């Protein structure tokens, strides 16, 4: 039976299929079409066996569909089939363009709803024992995109480097060298850093060091995107940094201003 056109933008959580909400699962069961992203766990599609599953994922330099095309698909399938679920990794309103899709759908009279997801910016650090706040250590945290729509590093990284807050950078691996330069410029060479690739999944990999050493750690462990970068004293709470530091080879760092002469 045809349902009235509807869009549900649903957060799938950070990767572990068990880290999805009950409301999200119930929404999937009601879907006629599921448009899903690259970073979601495919096992979650089993909760929508009656729906058509369409991959619309975007990864670095590999876009199956543009955002405009995805918006058009949402409206097309909602008008033709009824309930469309847009299944997005993490939380759809944290660097997920969920609000853009909601606003577009509303222009065509679609009923819309949002189901929040567990954001990877919190769950992935927690999974390796890193608390983003810690009494006496960190009173706040920043969550920043590493790369803006202009393909440049976010100016907020420079502001965050001057604070005492924990800094969580998403989509930042391509800008790691610039991140290191910025934190080094502000005298933060010895601040602990943790990088977690494919967090909360069976393929999770991680590396720990300091601003001074993290590029070497990434090279040795062959860490790549998708990964989350966590910078701050709370990284020590994971218990994984101490052994790294004992074996670390201290090397001089040449600091150049990332802001020009």
Catalytic residue annotation: 37, 58, 171
- Tell me the C-alpha distance between 99 and 170, whole Å: 18
Cα 207 to the center of its chain, rounded Å: 17
CB–CB of 138/165 below 8 Å?
yes
Residue 240 Rama label (left phi>0; alpha psi -120 to 50; beta): alpha
Cα dist. 71→6, 76, 77, 90, 126 in Å?
13, 9, 10, 19, 33
Structure tokens at 75: 């409206």
Give the H or E element holding residue 52: strand 52-55
- Tell me the C-alpha distance between 230 and 27, whole Å: 32
- Tell me the C-alpha distance between 81 and 77, whole Å: 5
């Amino acid at each position: 039976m045809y349902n009235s056109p509807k869009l549900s933008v649903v957060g799938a959580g950070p990767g572990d299929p068990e880290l999805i909400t009950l409301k999200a699962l119930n929404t999937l069961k009601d879907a006629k079409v599921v448009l899903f992203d690259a970073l979601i766990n495919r096992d979650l599609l089993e909760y929508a066996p009656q729906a058509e599953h369409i991959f619309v994922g975007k990864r670095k330099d590999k876009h199956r569909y543009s955002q405009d095309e995805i918006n058009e698909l949402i409206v097309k399938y909602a008008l033709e089939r009824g309930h469309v679920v847009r299944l997005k990794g993490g939380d759809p309103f944290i660097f997920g363009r969920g609000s853009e899709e909601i606003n577009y759908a509303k222009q065509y009279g679609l009923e819309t709803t949002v189901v929040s997801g567990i954001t990877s910016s919190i769950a992935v650090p927690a999974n390796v024992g890193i608390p983003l706040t810690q009494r006496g250590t960190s009173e706040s945290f920043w969550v920043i995109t590493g790369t803006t729509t202009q393909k440049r590093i976010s100016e907020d990284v420079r502001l965050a480097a001057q604070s005492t807050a924990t800094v969580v950078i998403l989509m930042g691996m391509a800008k790691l060298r610039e991140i290191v330069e910025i934190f080094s410029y502000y005298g933060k060479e010895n601040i602990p850093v943790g990088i977690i690739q494919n967090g909360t999944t069976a393929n999770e990999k991680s590396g720990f060091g300091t601003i001074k050493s993290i590029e070497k750690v990434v090279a040795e462990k062959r860490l790549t995107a998708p990964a989350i970068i966590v910078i701050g004293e709370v990284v020590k709470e994971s218990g994984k940094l101490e052994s790294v530091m004992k074996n670390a080879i201290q090397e001089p760092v040449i600091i150049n201003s990332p802001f020009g002469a």
